[in-house]
Structure 1
Amino acid sequence: MNLSYAPKSALHVMVVGKAGIGKRSFLSQLQDVWGESQMSFENEYKWTIKDCEVIFHIADVTQDSVSDRGLQKKIGACDAFILMHLVEDKESFKVLPLIKDIILKEKHMETDLPIFVVGHRVDCKELVTESKIASVVVWDWLMNYRELFENNLEHVMKLSGDMMTKCLGNLYAPIIEEPTPKKKQSILKRFRRIFRIR
Structure 2
Amino acid sequence: MASAEAKSLEKDQPDNIKFKIIVMGATSVGKTSLISQFVHGRTKNSTSDTTKDFYSCKITDGDVNVSADILDTHGDLEFPQMMKLAIQTGDAFVLMYAVDDKTSFDRMNCIRDMVVKWKSKERKNTITVVCNKMDLDVPTRSPPKEIVEAVVEMDWGHSYMEITTKDKDAVDRVFKEVVQRHVCACDGSAASGQRRMTSPADIIHKLRRRLTLKKLKSNT
TM-score, normalised to structure 2's length?
0.60
**Cα distance in 2, alignment partners of residues 53 and 19 from structure 1:** 27
1:94 shift after superposition: 0.4
1:157 equivalent in structure 2 = 172
Where 1:29 maps in the other structure, the secondary structure is: helix
Match of 2:24 among 16, 20, 24: 16
Match of 2:102 among 87, 90, 99: 90
Match of 2:119 among 82, 93, 107: 107
**Cα distance in 2, alignment partners of residues 108 and 132 from structure 1:** 25
Unpaired segments of 5 or more residues in structure 1? 1-6, 34-39, 172-198
2:213 equivalent in structure 1 = none
CA change 1:41–1:124 in 2 (3 A) is closer
Deviates more, 1:136-145 or 1:80-89: 136-145
1:27 aligns with 2:35: yes
Larger radius of gyration: 2
Between 1 and 2, higher relative CO (CA 8 Å, sep ≥ 6) is seen in 1
Deviation digits for residues 33-65 of structure 1 (CA, Å, limit 9, x no counterpart): 6xxxxxx95221111347743111012369x84
2:87 equivalent in structure 1 = 75
Where 1:46 maps in the other structure, the secondary structure is: strand
Match of 2:56 among 46, 56, 69: 46
CA change 1:112–1:139 in 2 (3 A) is farther
Q: How many residue pairs align between the two structures? A: 155
CA change 1:121–1:49 in 2 (3 A) is closer
CA change 1:49–1:122 in 2 (3 A) is closer
TM-score, normalised to structure 1's length?
0.66
Cα RMSD of the aligned pairs, angstroms, is: 3.0
Aligned pairs for 1:94-173 (under 5 A) are 94-110=106-122, 113-121=125-133, 123-124=135-136, 130-169=145-184
1:88, 1:123 within 8 Å by CA — same for their partners in 2?
no
Where 1:149 maps in the other structure, the secondary structure is: coil
Percent of pairs with identical residues: 23
Code of the residue aligned with 2:83 in structure 1: it is L
1:10, 1:54 within 8 Å by CA — same for their partners in 2?
yes
**Cα distance in 1, alignment partners of residues 90 and 179 from structure 2:** 14
**Cα distance in 1, alignment partners of residues 70 and 55 from structure 2:** 5
Where 1:138 maps in the other structure, the secondary structure is: helix
- Structure 1: which 4+ aligned runs deviate by more than 6 Å? none
1:113 shift after superposition: 3.0
Unpaired segments of 5 or more residues in structure 2? 1-14, 42-49, 187-220
Code of the residue aligned with 1:135 in structure 2: it is A
**Cα distance in 1, alignment partners of residues 40 and 73 from structure 2:** 21
